Amino acid sequence: MKVTDLQPGEYAPYYELYLPNVDDTWSLNEELEISLHNFIRFVQDIPIGKHDYRYAEGKWTIKDIIQHIIDAERVFSYRAMRIARGDTTELPGFDENFYVENANANSRGLQPLLTELSAVRHATLLLFKTFGNEELLKRGVASGHPVSVRALGFLIIAHQNHHIKIFKERYL
């Protein structure tokens, strides 16, 4: 199953901007693994002096963004698990700014953040490996929009890759 298999209606329209950031060469599980390694290599090459850099007042640092990626992946994986298990409860959104403000990412080193990201991704990958095609195609509602389990997996990747673009455009 590749990102190009997704159909409109499996995700909120605003994610249209994110999904082109996913390589359509690999399956979902392969891309979950590959994209993690690519992200870690990319971030480890960022000069130490940039880790706490903000390109404008009120904007997040690189460490804030890594924490945001971790938090979002946890939320998306949780949504995927609930939907795959047949839970039809509408799942609420989350305030990413509130989460970042309360995460204290800037008091941490880069390596602990990357270790946490790696642990979360490995848990995500193990979860997605338990899903068969039937589970991957299940749909629920999150943040007021329909979403499929497989779309949530690809959105984890797309979101991370979106932030690589932001790093390149605004931080480096």
pLDDT digits (tens, 9 = 90+) for 11-52: 999 999 999 999 999 999 999 999 999 999 999 999 999 999
The mean-pLDDT minimum among 14-18, 76-80, 104-108, 116-120 falls in: 14-18
Nearest CA to 149 among 129, 163, 164?
Answer: 129
Closest CA to 69 of 30, 42, 49: 42
Residue 119 CB coordination number (10 Å)? 11
Residue-wise pLDDT for 49-90, tens only, equals 999 999 999 999 999 999 999 999 999 999 999 999 999 999
At 152, the pLDDT band (50, 70, 90 cuts) reads very high
pLDDT for residue 9: 94
State residue 129's pLDDT score: 98
Q: E-strand spans in 10-164?
A: 139-142, 145-148
Q: How far is CA 6 from CA 24, 76, 114, 151, 165, in A?
A: 11, 16, 29, 7, 22
- pTM here is 0.96
Question: How high is the pLDDT of residue 158?
Answer: 98
Q: How far apart are CA 152 and CA 146, in angstroms?
A: 11
Determine the pLDDT at residue 10.
97
The whole-number pLDDT of residue 171 equals 94
**CATH fold label, 3-47+60-171:** Four Helix Bundle (Hemerythrin (Met), subunit A) (1.20.120)
Residue 145 pLDDT: 98
Domain positions in the chain? 3-47+60-171
Exposure string over 36-61, b if 16+ CB within 10 A, otherwise e: beebeeebeeeeeeebeeeeeeeebb
| Percent of the residues in the chain that have a pLDDT greater than 70, as a whole number | 100
Residue identified by tokens 């940039």 is: 50
Distant-in-sequence, close-in-space partners of 49: CB < 8 Å, separation ≥ 6 = none
pLDDT of residue 134: 98
